[in-house]
Amino acid sequence: MRFGSSAHIAAPRLVVVLLAATALFVAGDGGIARAAVGVEMSKAQPTGEVESFVQSTIDNGYAILNNMELSADQREEKFRDFLLSIIDTKRIALFTLGEYARTASKSDLDEFLDAYDDFAAAMYQGYFNWYTGQSLRVANSIARKADDVVVYADVINPNGQRLFKVGFRVRKNEAQKNVVTDFQFEGVWLALNQRSDFTAFLQQHKGDFQLLTSELKKRTQHFREVWAPPPQPKTKL
């Protein structure tokens, strides 16, 4: 599947931008928590239904972002609504807090969850925007268990060269519908990375959730600036 325009960025730069944007400013060894998958993958047969869900998710996301009949603000709002319908951001956000999720007050937790929705929307919209001009091809999937499947896809440049591999972890929600619960970029799982950063941040700031939420909002703005598509050249009259 080919996406949008012909603009794209080189893979090495994309790695740096993606990982730098997901990490909070953490003291100590606070760099990126580069975690291995850390679990045994089963040899189950690929799950075609889940692969179709991932491919349709990509297709539908780009259909929204490429709809020039909508204003930029309308596309962003529509994409955010779509994203929150297929990604279990609450589940992910609670996971990123680790044991600290049990100590947060309801008001602090609600504010964090709202901020995380904005954070996730900015992150994934930026991801979609920057892959315009490239194609994403579902390559295979591995079932960890019946309701836990990892779908891998190759990102291909216009010349047919494979740039890198990405992964989508798909699980079932309470209604037994497929939802994305994590995203992998060349071996790095973003939710695991965020969990390492967020819990380290809370540990260093005495469990101050308001401070974490404030930092997350700053990181969301950073995403929007870093991932902003290049300005389109003005046409001469």
Residue 233 lies in a domain: no
- Among 163, 134, 137, residue whose Cα is nearest residue 151: 137
pLDDT of residue 123: 81
**Per-residue model confidence (pLDDT) at position 186:** 73
Quick one: pLDDT at residue 110?
96
pLDDT score, position 8: 35
The residue among 185, 74, 173, 55 whose CA lies nearest residue 123 is: 185
Does residue 159 fall inside a structural domain?
yes
Query: Domain tally for the chain?
Result: 1
**In the structure encoding, which two tokens stand for residue 195, read together?**
């969990």
Residue 38 lies in a domain: yes
Q: Flag whether 183 is in a domain.
A: yes
Residue 85 lies in a domain: yes
Where does the chain have alpha helices with state H? 11-22, 48-65, 72-86, 89-97, 106-130, 190-204, 209-226
Give the pLDDT score at 67. 83
Question: Residue 208, CB half-sphere, CA atoms under 13 Å: how many?
Answer: 10
Within a domain: 234: no
Tell me the C-alpha distance between 189 and 223, whole Å: 18
Q: Within a domain: residue 65?
A: yes
Q: What is the pLDDT of residue 181?
A: 92
Low-confidence ranges of the chain (pLDDT < 70): 1-47, 127-134, 227-237
Give the residue numbers spanning the domain of 37.
11-225
Residue 174's CATH number: 3.10.450.710
